[in-house]
Structure 1
Amino acid sequence: MAFLLSSSQTSVNSLLSLSLPIKQQRPRVLVNSVSCRATKVIGSENNSTNFYELLSLSPNNANINEIKKAYRSKALRYHPDVCPPPMKEESTIMFVQLNAAYKTLSDPMLRKEYDCELLGLRNNYGSTLKMDVDVARTRWQEQINGLKRRSNRRTAQKEGSRGSRIRAQNMRNKD
């Protein structure tokens, strides 16, 4: 549909007065269920990758220094920047696994949970049967503290610094 507009005000007013039927429809909202469950671990053919075996360590007596030393030696060997081009993809996958192993085994809480999982002490719901209650409580408390820090940071950004709030209060008191 094309309109020819002239410069006269009457033709514009006549066009504006036209009432065209507008059909209003309620928008339809389609809700589909979405699953966020992983189907496989990227970089490993099976889920039996043992972080201790990956770093060539004994689970019974591996301390943080041995974990760090084993990680560094393997990381130097499998880093994608130092490997030959034909093996770049394999070494990248191995390097990612090494990094995950180091992060898990170097953190005492994650290591304790991993050891429980490794021993097969998990029930059908995915929670550890013999996991120490203090470990779960500590992890929960860390999450709560992180949420509080972020909330306080946002509040501080909205309200400004403590000094600016005091100056504003002093200005109100002077008036």
Structure 2
Amino acid sequence: MTATLAAPAPVVAEATARVADAAAFRTSVALFATGIAVVTVPDGEGGVHGITVNSFTSISLEPPTVMISLKAGRAHELISSTGCYGVSVLSEGQQGHSRYFTGKRDTELVPEYVQGHRIPTLAGSLARFVCEVINTIPVNDHTLFIARVVHCESQNGSPLMFFASSYHQPSLLAP
């Protein structure tokens, strides 16, 4: 006699039918500490358009591949049309840059750019990446822009961090 074990019924349908409360999700996801980056793209009029993000991540080392996630807007439109973007990972002294590129221009900051490899990136950043889009994936109200890194460089320093909806500087948190 051979016994057959039945697999338990999948709970996928039940799990996908529910959606987390938006406020609870926002509070919970804010507890994931991230670095802060500014995504830049030529604006087509001789200037630079930028946006502050914390949705920048590496995907692959071979070949070097990264991803950003953007809502519809000017940066989304420009990256979609140019097929490229720059990413500048902000240092702890660049909180003003982060605020500037969120539209909070409450300082007299004038960003300084490194103009290399066709795409401007921010001077003084911990790391700078020049990226060419290889794929876009729409996900709900965002688009993932997956890109090959064609140039990158970095320097020593401490990153500007974002945790619990506030800026943090790691050097101030050290024991």
Tell me which interval the TM-score lies in, with the shorter structure as reference length. under 0.3
Q: Give the structure with the higher percent strand.
A: 2
Higher relative contact order (CA 8 A, sep 6+): 2
Which structure's residues are more often helix, by fraction?
1
Q: State the structure with more CA Rg.
A: 1
